[in-house]
Structure formats: C-alpha cells, structure tokens
Structure 1
C-alpha cells in the first residue's frame, strides 16, 4: 500500500468519526434550540431546510433522474419520513424540555433493542444472545424511567414525569421507520430517499406545530438558538448523513452500527462538559446497562451475519 493510498483508506474511518460526533451532538444542539424556539416548528423548518439543500445537491451531482421512484418506493420514503424525522425527532425535541440531553441520548440508545423485538414479532428467530441483550436493555431502560429526570435535568426547563417515556416513544417510532424501510422498496439513490424523508417529516412537524398553537417570532429568538438551529440544519442534516452514507458504503454494516452505542457517550460527555448537566448514580448505572445491552445485541447480530459478510 503506497503512501498516496493511505489517506484514502482512512476516509471511511474519518467519516464514521464524523457520524459519532455530529449525531452525538444533536441532543445538546436541541437543548439550545428550544431555549427560545418552539420545538416542533424549529425541528420542522430544520428538516425542510436540510431537505431542500440536500435535494439541490442531488440535482447538481446526480441529476433529476435520481428522484425517479415507483409509487411503492415513494410510499416507503413518505412513511419513513413520518416515522423518523416527524415522530422520532419531533417527540425527542419536545421531550428535551423535561429531560437532559445526555439522558435523552441514553434512552434513544434503545432503538437497536426495539428493532430486535420487531424482527422477532415479524418471524425472524432471534439468537439467545439477542434475547438476553433485549432483556438486559429492558432493565436499564426501566431504571432510567423510574429514576426520572430529577437530579439530572441539568438546567432544562422542567422535570415532568412524562419526559423519559416520551423519549422511549420517540425511539419506538424511529425503530419502526428504520425497520420498515429495510423491508420495503426504497429509491435507488439514498440521498433522494433522505431528501423526501426530510421534506415530508419537516412539513408534517410544521403543520402539527402550527395546529397546536406554536408560533415562531424571529426577533425573539436568542442568538444561541439561531446558531444551534443553523448547526442542525446545515452540518447535521447534510454532513452527518453524507458521512453516514459514505461509511456505510465502504465499511461493514456491523462496524457502522457501532454509532448506536458511541453517540450516547458523546452526548453525555457534551452535556456534562458544555451544559453542566448532572447525573445521579442510578442514572449512570441505568445508562451503562442500556449501552451494555446495545453492545450485546449488535455483537449477536454481527456474529449471526459474519459468514455472509466474509463471503
């Protein structure tokens, strides 16, 4: 391997590192967005902006034909747009008025556990290690929910009991959308898929936010919220997804899947260092149990698919 080829070999790992950091930082960014922005409208306009920009890039680099899709493929894109950006991210940013960013990330780490359950319910025979991982994760999630956000809110605007359960409900939507997209027809171009997802999810959030009485007054928005919103709209919506798509095309799926237990760690560290969030001993124990469960499930699934990947 020549010295010229070495940087090219490192690019996939750099891309995966970008996914770790950018996706891990979304929870902290959301926290600053809702300081002076209504959550649903802010999230909706963020996805609409990201969708428009990503769509323009697809048009420039791949041409209009990249958006050619059948009715079934468009239906998958629309459904996943409702379940991922709208349901998943929408409920998360609403819940973050009551739950610290780090704790939110630990609860969202349950997504791989949900997917394992969905696979079992639809006929896949799970491995014993997968079942054990899901059971361990249930214990950790129960501990996080029972302890609640008190003591770990770290300055968020409230500590209502419904915060952690709402995050778990958001995770269920994200897992369902991810699982459905893996079983249904999807557009050939993943960036076209992401464009439709963001536009439909963003539009849904704007409509729902307006219907429930949210109003956005730009003059009243604090600078920190604007900067956080721009970061989410540009760097996360464009940079993180592009890095994820590149990593997924060049690294084993099981390796890319490690973001599921690295992102929460990044989120917790950012919450503590940047926002001064605090966690009780029981919350840390519950979070550690959830992350252990995710590692167990991903390792079990990696082992089950190892012969296919090696071929």
Structure 2
C-alpha cells in the first residue's frame, strides 16, 4: 500500500511540474494585461515566500539561517526572481506566452555555454550537437515576420535572453553557494527577498499601482494560481521528485512545459501557432534533448531550478 501511495505521489508531482509550470506563461500573460510586470512578480513571490514560512513553522522547521546564507539567498533571489523572472514577465507585454515558453526552453544551452566560458567545462559531442540545434532553433524562432514587424516584440525577445543569462548564472552560483539545506526554507527566503526587490524595482520604474479590487476575475484567478500552484505546489513537487527519481527524468519538464504553454496559449489566448513556430519547437527541443544527454550539464541538485 505504501508503494502504491508513493507511486501516486510521484505521478501527481510530475503532473504538477508538467502542467502547472507549463501554464505559468499563460497565467502571467493574463495578469500582466492589468498589473505592471515587476509589481505582479513582486506580489506573487512575496506572498508565496511568506506562505512558505508559515507552512515551514507549522511543520516545525526553524527559519534561522547564517548571515552568509542570507547574503547568498539575496543574490540568488535577485538573479532568479528580481532580474530573471521580472524581465520574462515584462517581455510578456509584447510577445505571446507560447513564444516566451519556447525561447526559455533553450535555457540548458545558455547554462552549458556559461559553464564552458566561466568554469572551463568540456563540452561533449552530444552537447555540441545540441548547441548547434539550439542556436538554429533560436534563429528560426526569431526570424518570424510577426516578431520583426510587431512593435516591441524584438525587444521582448532580447529581454528574455537577458533573463535566461541571469537564470543561467544563478544556476552556477547556487551550485557552489552556502545556502540553507532545507529546500523549503531556502525557497522561502529567495522568494521573499526576490519579491521585495521586485517591489523596489517597480517603485523605481514608477510602475502604475493596480489595486486588487480593480482586477478582473480572470486576473485574480491567475495571481492566486501563480502564488499557490506555480510558486509553492509545483516547486515542492519538483524537489520531491529529485528525492524519488533520477534528475534526468525530472528534467523532462524542459520538453513538456513549452508544449503545454503553446497549447494553452492557443486555446485560451488565441495565440497563433505558425509552421515556423512548430519547426523552431522541434529543432529547439531536439537540441535540448542532446544537451541534457551530455554529462557536462549535470549540475548539483540544488541548482536545478526554474523560476517562471
């Protein structure tokens, strides 16, 4: 009975990281129509961080961390959430959610190149094929007429690239940084400090303040879903899976998330799925497969994160 229950938990956890994380692009796209991007991300992660701390206390976990760990969580929170997620949400004002999801699917390519440039890691032949395919996929994705002619879309494309660079460097940083051993506590601190810095960025950029009573029903649903499902349940499921199955199996979300995002964007947001997008998706995801097959990309478990 215990084995059957554990298997069910694994299945539910996989569904969480596949579907919930795949849906965050659509949810952010809906919410950013009425809430300024950095304010939206600040609300999401600050509340999620506070809720995680409440849950941690209820489970008997100590919230105490060292000064060095606090500094490191601030750095990680900035790289992943303030700069990384903040820019990705900002870009959703100008490009489709499915487009952003597909572009972000090339994240392993950025991580691998950064490991090579900053750490001198050797790149396997499989990964070299993946890099070539990844670059080709990004080129195909960026060559679409809709992107070139649509106002602000090209800027959105490059802003997402900046977000990916931040996530990639953050992944390398947390792989060596002294951080709280408990994933729940670690995540809570990163989300709280990252969310507070997003509020500061929102204030500095003089973003308009949108009060919750002025939000439409679909935006309220999107924000609540991003906080509870996207920030807490999915990430908890992610860390649970890392303790139950191989990291390579967990990494399959890299392939599934953009597919889910494309389908949801098409069905709920009327986003177009062009032939060029399909070709770019096939090339990009094939490249990601080859990169994930290369041994040089196997980072420590605590660095295997995604923050969309």
How does the TM-score come out when normalised to structure 2?
0.90
The match for 1:71 among 44, 67, 70 is 67
Query: Aligned residue for 1:181?
Result: 174
- Shift of the 63–301 alpha-carbon distance from structure 1 to 2, 3 Å rule, reads same
Query: Aligned residue for 1:309?
Result: none
Query: Aligned residue for 2:305?
Result: none
Q: What does the per-residue CA deviation read over 1:141-177, in whole Å, with 9 as the maximum and x for residues that have no partner?
A: 1221232654998xxxx55321111111111111211
Task: Confirm whether residue 243 of structure 1 aligns to residue 237 of structure 2.
Answer: yes
For residues 137-286 of structure 1, the aligned pairs below 5 Å read: 137-147=134-144, 149-150=146-147, 159-218=152-211, 219-286=213-280
* Structure 2 Cα separation of the partners of residues 295 and 178 of structure 1: 19
Query: Aligned residue for 1:35?
Result: 33
Moved more, 238-247 or 143-152: 143-152
CA RMSD of aligned residues (A): 2.1
1:9 positional shift: 2.4
- SS of the residue corresponding to residue 162 of structure 1 reads helix
Q: Structure 1: where are the runs of 5+ without partners? A: 306-311
Query: Aligned residue for 1:127?
Result: 124
* Structure 1 Cα separation of the partners of residues 235 and 139 of structure 2: 31
For residues 4-19 of structure 1, the aligned pairs below 5 Å read: 4-19=2-17
Q: Structure 2: where are the runs of 5+ without partners? A: 300-308
For residues 73-152 of structure 1, the aligned pairs below 5 Å read: 73-121=69-117, 122-147=119-144, 149-150=146-147
Contact 2:79 2:170 in 1 (8 A): yes
* Structure 2 Cα separation of the partners of residues 55 and 304 of structure 1: 30
1:302 positional shift: 8.7
- SS of the residue corresponding to residue 216 of structure 1 reads coil
- SS of the residue corresponding to residue 278 of structure 1 reads coil
Give 4+ residue runs of structure 1 displaced > 3 Å after superposition. 148-153, 302-305
* Structure 1 Cα separation of the partners of residues 72 and 288 of structure 2: 27
* Structure 1 Cα separation of the partners of residues 73 and 30 of structure 2: 29
- SS of the residue corresponding to residue 215 of structure 1 reads coil
1:258 positional shift: 1.1
1:124 positional shift: 1.6
Q: What does the per-residue CA deviation read over 1:20-40, in whole Å, with 9 as the maximum and x for residues that have no partner?
A: 111100000011101211111
1:71 positional shift: 3.1
